[in-house]
Amino acid sequence: MKRVAVQAGDFDVAAELAALEALGGGGVASFTGVVRGGGGLIALELEHYPAMTKVQVDRICDEAMARWPLLGLSVIHRFGRLEPGARIVFVGTASRHRTAALESCAFLIDWLKSEAPFWKKEHFADGATGWVEARVEDEVKAKGWNGQD
Amino acid sequence: MKRVAVQAGDFDVAAELAALEALGGGGVASFTGVVRGGGGLIALELEHYPAMTKVQVDRICDEAMARWPLLGLSVIHRFGRLEPGARIVFVGTASRHRTAALESCAFLIDWLKSEAPFWKKEHFADGATGWVEARVEDEVKAKGWNGQD
Amino acid sequence: MLTIVYFAWVRERIGLDEEQVARPELGATVADLVAGLAARGGGYAEALGDATRLRAALDQRFVGLDTVIGDARELALFPPVTGG
Amino acid sequence: MLTIVYFAWVRERIGLDEEQVARPELGATVADLVAGLAARGGGYAEALGDATRLRAALDQRFVGLDTVIGDARELALFPPVTGG
């Protein structure tokens, strides 16, 4: 099972997890990213490159499935305007081996952070806006999975 | 938020995750263990040491909260007779840092495997039964978190 | 008296969840007590004969079998745990 | 012709999502094309003046700025990604 979705709407974490549990694998790992409030943030606007996003996320998922003995995975990434508390991203993996489920989940979220063509713009209560800067740490982390410097 | 439960009944993964997401941390990681079928297995019987279990799991949770910047965690472990497909264990963690959420989740499930006083007995369709043997790998993994050999 | 609690196949082989025994002499370790119980033969010998397969807790804390029992009130004997 | 698509603050500074440009000469790299666009001044200079802040994709694959454009049909220019 490989489920990849890039969508504006919210998703049902329970349904995603239930589908992964039903694969009978023994272990299901997940990560959910949520818009963090504070500092006067009223919304995050996620822009993406539609022609590229789905293909890119698909490729990353295939890589995870080649690398770990997974029974299934589910990756969902939202775009558009999201308010604090809203879910942005979900990664779920199922495997007979808990380490495979947990590691592949970490791998996928690291890659989404550094390799998926999404950009975040912050909107503040005072009308100010600003594009979120990429963190060097994220690029380093994704490269780490390849054993590169 | 620290939620620890040792119970016979099932639990609601969606409700646990929603409580963790509501902490506003940005990242929620989870692991759910499910009874694996196959080989004629009809049920798993989980025995535990009630006077010790809750105290021990609490202690492990405190250690995770001291070690990673967590906003909250939730650990649920079931006991009693569980059929294939049933959930056994849930670990959920919330943090502003996705790495903290993912690592602490892996830490907790590794420790539950090697340090929580639970024992699993397998029941097969032909009437045979057998206690699951501890895997050396699990003891090694838990020790790895302490930098011990 | 000292309470001993048994779990998993240790419990099944001995046929008891729990029992009271006379408090062992000063300085006795868990291993000393286990050897004494195994010497009873039968299910005790089956359950406790090979100490390398056993784990123990004193007053709900994991301890090595070389730990002195001291004034602990509850000793638990069981196989390596398999939770999670 | 070559289609160029812009994202995030590159798009905002240039004021366009997408445009068609004459296909660059044989052997031209992404960096060569970026330098030519930046030379238009105004929003282009603001968006593309500092190539170290840019990332690129040719036909929906990430490439370094030193990559030859060749017969690619779509070039995308954008800042480092911040998804997840």
What length is written for chain B?
Answer: 149
Q: Do D84 and A109 touch (CB under 8 A)?
A: yes
C78:B119 CB<8 A? yes
Give me the number of domains chain A comprises.
1
Domain region containing A62: 2-147
Measured between beta carbons, the chain C residues lying within 8 angstroms of B48 are 7, 83
Average pLDDT over residues A63-77: 97
B4 interfacial to chain C (CB closer than 8 Å): no
Cα separation, A36 vs B102, in Å, equals 17
pLDDT tens-digit map of A73-105: 999 999 999 999 999 999 999 999 999 999 999
Three-state DSSP string of A62-108: HHHHHHCCEEEEEEEEECEEECCCCEEEEEEEEECCHHHHHHHHHHH
Question: Mind telling me how many Å the CA of D47 is from chain A's nearest CA?
Answer: 13
* Chain A residues closer than 8 Å to D76 by CB: 49, 52, 117
B1 contacts chain C (CB < 8 A): no
**Sorting pLDDT into bands at 50, 70 and 90, what band is D10?**
very high
Smallest CA–CA distance, residue A23 to chain D, in Å, is 25
With a cut of 50, which residues of chain C have pLDDT below it?
A: none
Query: Which tens digit of pLDDT belongs to each residue from D28-42?
Result: 999 999 999 999 999
| Residue entry with tokens 């499930």 | B109
Find out whether A131 and A48 touch, Cβ atoms under 8 Å. no
A contacts of D60 (beta carbons < 8 Å): 49, 51-52, 55-56
Mean pLDDT of A26-53: 95
| CATH code of A142's domain | 3.90.1170.40
Q: Is D42 left (phi over 0), alpha (psi -120 to 50) or beta?
A: left
Instruction: Report the complex ipTM.
Output: 0.88
Question: Between residues 117 and 136 of chain A, which touch chain B (CB distance below 8 Å)?
Answer: none
Q: Is the per-residue pLDDT at A36 higher than 70?
A: yes
In a 10 Å sphere around its CB, with 0-12 CB exposed, 13-18 middle and 19+ buried, how is residue B3 labelled? middle
> D16 — phi, psi (to 5°)?
-140, 145
Which amino acid, one-letter code, is at A73?
L
pLDDT digits (tens, 9 = 90+) for A126-148: 999 999 998 776 767 777 777 54
Cross-chain Cβ contact A139/D76 below 8 Å:
no
DSSP B147: T
Chain A interface includes B101 (CB < 8 A): yes
Q: Are A2 and A65 in contact (CB under 8 A)?
A: yes
Q: At what angle do helices B13-21 and A13-21 cross, to 10 degrees?
A: 140
Nearest to C76 by CA among C62, C57, C54: C57
Question: Does 3.20.20.140 match the CATH number of domain D2-78?
Answer: no
Closest CA in chain B for residue C80: B134
Provide the residue ranges of all domains of chain D, joining segments of one domain with +.
2-78
Checking if the pLDDT of D45 tops 90, the result is yes
Q: Would the CB atoms of A77 and D9 count as touching at under 8 Å?
A: no
Of the pLDDT bands very low, low, confident and very high (cuts 50, 70, 90), residue B149 is very low
Q: Kindly determine whether residue B32 and residue A21, on different chains, have CB atoms separated by under 8 Å.
A: yes
